[in-house]
Structure 1
Amino acid sequence: MSHLPRHATTYGLVVPDEETARNGAQELAARGHALVRVSPAPASGWRIDSLDEGPFPDDDETWWTAAEERIVSRLSEDLGGTVRRSMALPETARRFFLEGETICDRTAGQVRDARLSALSSEPARAPCPVIVHDLANPEPSDGPAGEPVELHGLDDVDWTALTGAYGPADDVPDILRGLAANDEGWEESIEEYFSTVVHQDTCYDCTPETVGFLVQIARAPGLTPEYRLDLLIHLAYIATIDPVPVTAEAGTDEASTAEAATCQAVIERIPDLMTLWPDVSGAARAWLIVLAALGMDGGAPPAVAEFRSRVEGPSPALDLALALVSGDEDGALKLTIAAASWDQQVPPLLEAPIPLRARHLKVLLHLALKELTPAR
């Protein structure tokens, strides 16, 4: 039984020349894209514009849309081009479809056989693991403890010589002090941090300098537990923007980007963060395991493996983190491939042109954010 999706997907590919555009357009037409056109690109090269209106093999629209996007992305790479995607109701997508030479113009009914045949080699979504543990919903505390955290060495850094998202980083100390205040202004300070210090997955030369102070705050005994958990999640996030290789001694790899330098700064402080283990909640311990996967050498401490044994039911995030902590590359690969069979966001992460371990770490963060943070 086939299914017509509610939204159509428009792809816009820019390729080097006319011959490449025509060849690519024919491939998309053969895949059952309903409307395909080619035209000279405004700047240089040629455009291929195509409209996928379905049908899909079943009603799992998110899964099949993601599958087709991966295929079109690979086609674009093979053609030496780039691709953009947008979604709209079919009538809206057709109304605003770009002009050009029409290669094909058919209805969803006319392309049904070609569309289903093209997707027949793609597996349907596998059953998702049913998460029964409650690590994403820790017990709330009584609110901010009201005990500010003293930051050692903050004034020893020449922040004016460093840069953030908007120029000199001289406002960064106040952002860190806002976090250290441990009060109701926490959310505002976090927003300022992710506007000035880390901005849309971009780090700056000031960013790695802030990591030690974030760790100081996270380790403060009087920090509100929700804020500590928040910091652990954010540290895992910034450390996986550009994960660096693990070496026998932390910090011996030369970081080529500010993002990699930030990752290195987190790796160097993982032993400090792990000292939190005896005194924090299960939710915080889960994120400590995720952080440990970044760079702990020598395998998981017994307490970490014991913690997993007490977590009821499936835990793709913890299992992958433990495989990475212990250096079990084959196990990590099996876990990520399994996740790709039920989570449509995993395959693009596994296909990224970065080292395998970095791909696994990005998958880990994705799975951890889904499994170990409250649903929104």
Structure 2
Amino acid sequence: MITFPRYATTYSLFVPDEESAREGARVLTGRGHAIVRVAPDTTTDSGWRIDGLDEGPYPDGDDRWWAAAEHRAVAALAEELGGRLSTSMALPETARRFFPEGEGVRDPGTVRELRLGVLSREPARTPAPAVVHGLGRREPSGGPTGGPIVLDGLDDVDWASLTGAYGPADEVPDILRGLAANDEEWEGAVEEYFSTVVHQDTCYDCTPETIRFLVQLVRSPRLFPAYRLELLIHMAYVATIDPVPATGEADSDEAAACRAVVDHLPDLLALWPEASAAVRAWLIVLAAVRPGAQPRPEFEEFRRRLDGPSPALDLALALTSGDGGAVRDLTLAAASWDEEVSAMLEEPFTRRTRELKILFHLALTELAPSD
């Protein structure tokens, strides 16, 4: 059933010259954008801008899927024209009211036919696999949990010589002590860590130094199980911001943080014999980050015993075994039902980085605890 999205998207392409602007406007017009305008870019001496308004219609009510498909197409156009893309979303009447001024270049009478014609060439979302294994459910805690944990070597690090998001990393040991308190203030300590030590996909030279202390916490039998699982998820995130290459050295703070996680994988995998099913699943994900990782029989056995589909674990095992064909098939399959995976396939990452980012996204969707 043909529908109109609740929100309209304004696409603004900033291109080098008028010729590029008019070519881009022609393409957006052909894609059925409701309004298309071109104008000189007042922020540069010679650049131009193209503005297009996508307010539907879409072939069905899956707004996110069709909006993502349009975003990919327009992003590719911006790259082809040597420009950059900016987007904003608003209710249609608001988007029209604040739409940038410029020379109009489209016939509004053909919007519906063009829009549906273009999107009819895009595949609709396929049904996602029905995940039934239940690894995303919180498990009851067991064992001697609770109480503060001592972090060995914390005061041996010259934190003042390192930097975090806001300057010298003097506060980092207190943040780690906040995590080690293992109490009801945990969430606040995590927020501080992801403000100072890792901030919006950016690591600092203090970040790799903190990993060994996170590993100490994860391995402590006193740590609450929910906190242990959360730290494993956070370490998987840190390790996939900028994964270290299969060969070569880390060339960024993000890659150095990934290297620190990889270096401590043996310590983390030592948890396996006594670990819960949820922890084991994330250990499999983390193991896939290691360059040249080797398949482990216990991973395969764990997967065989798991009920139903598991896109995340299947991808992790394919990466661990080095099965490039399976990795390709699994990522393409995920892109057919998950628009974020589809977008990641278009990003200018290295293949390894792209695959690991997709793995973390799928794992977060499938394996992270949900209330």
Matched residue, 2:306: 311
Deviations 1:261-303 (A, max 9, x none): 1111111111110000111211111111100000064522111
Matched, 1:54 2:56: yes
TM-superposed deviation, 1:123: 0.6
Return the letter of the residue paired with 1:21.
Answer: A
Matched residue, 1:90: 92
Return the letter of the residue paired with 1:65.
Answer: A
TM-superposed deviation, 1:105: 5.2
TM-superposed deviation, 1:11: 0.5
Matched, 1:343 2:338: yes
Query: Contact 2:144–2:221 (CA<8 Å) still a contact in 1?
Result: no
The separation in 1 between residues aligned to 2:179 and 2:4, in whole angstroms, is 49
Matched residue, 1:220: 220
In structure 2, the CA distance between the partners of 1:308 and 1:318, relative to structure 1 (3 Å rule), is same
The separation in 2 between residues aligned to 1:142 and 1:279, in whole angstroms, is 11
- TM-score (normalizing by structure 1): 0.95
Query: Contact 2:287–2:293 (CA<8 Å) still a contact in 1?
Result: no
Deviations 1:107-135 (A, max 9, x none): 6xx31111122122211111110111110
Matched residue, 1:176: 176
TM-superposed deviation, 1:351: 1.7
Secondary structure of the 2:10 match is strand
Matched, 1:6 2:1: no
The separation in 2 between residues aligned to 1:344 and 1:298, in whole angstroms, is 28
Matched residue, 1:146: 146
Matched, 1:70 2:72: yes
Secondary structure of the 1:84 match is strand
Secondary structure of the 1:51 match is strand
1:319-358 alignment to 2 at 5 Å?
Answer: 319-358=314-353
1:97-136 alignment to 2 at 5 Å?
Answer: 97-104=99-106, 106=108, 110-136=110-136
Which segment drifts farther, 49-58 or 337-346?
49-58
Deviations 1:286-341 (A, max 9, x none): 11110000006452211111111111111000000010111111111110000000
Matched residue, 2:287: 292
Query: Contact 1:144–1:183 (CA<8 Å) still a contact in 2?
Result: no
The separation in 2 between residues aligned to 1:297 and 1:34, in whole angstroms, is 50
Matched residue, 1:250: none
Secondary structure of the 1:104 match is coil
Return the letter of the residue paired with 1:351.
Answer: E
Return the letter of the residue paired with 1:89.
Answer: L
Query: Contact 1:175–1:193 (CA<8 Å) still a contact in 2?
Result: yes
Deviations 1:175-211 (A, max 9, x none): 1111111111211110100000001111001001111
Query: Contact 2:72–2:346 (CA<8 Å) still a contact in 1?
Result: no
Return the letter of the residue paired with 1:97.
Answer: F
Query: Contact 1:162–1:168 (CA<8 Å) still a contact in 2?
Result: yes
TM-superposed deviation, 1:93: 0.8
TM-superposed deviation, 1:144: 9.4
The separation in 2 between residues aligned to 1:200 and 1:191, in whole angstroms, is 12
Return the letter of the residue paired with 1:295.
Answer: R
TM-superposed deviation, 1:42: 2.4
In structure 2, the CA distance between the partners of 1:282 and 1:144, relative to structure 1 (3 Å rule), is same
The separation in 2 between residues aligned to 1:298 and 1:93, in whole angstroms, is 49
The separation in 2 between residues aligned to 1:219 and 1:142, in whole angstroms, is 14
Which segment drifts farther, 47-56 or 71-80?
47-56
Return the letter of the residue paired with 1:100.
Answer: G
The separation in 2 between residues aligned to 1:86 and 1:142, in whole angstroms, is 48
Return the letter of the residue paired with 1:33.
Answer: H
The separation in 1 between residues aligned to 2:328 and 2:200, in whole angstroms, is 28
Secondary structure of the 1:138 match is coil
The separation in 2 between residues aligned to 1:296 and 1:277, in whole angstroms, is 20
**How many pairs are equivalent?**
369
Identity percentage over the alignment?
Answer: 64
Provide structure 2 residue ranges, at least 5 long, that are not aligned to the other structure. none
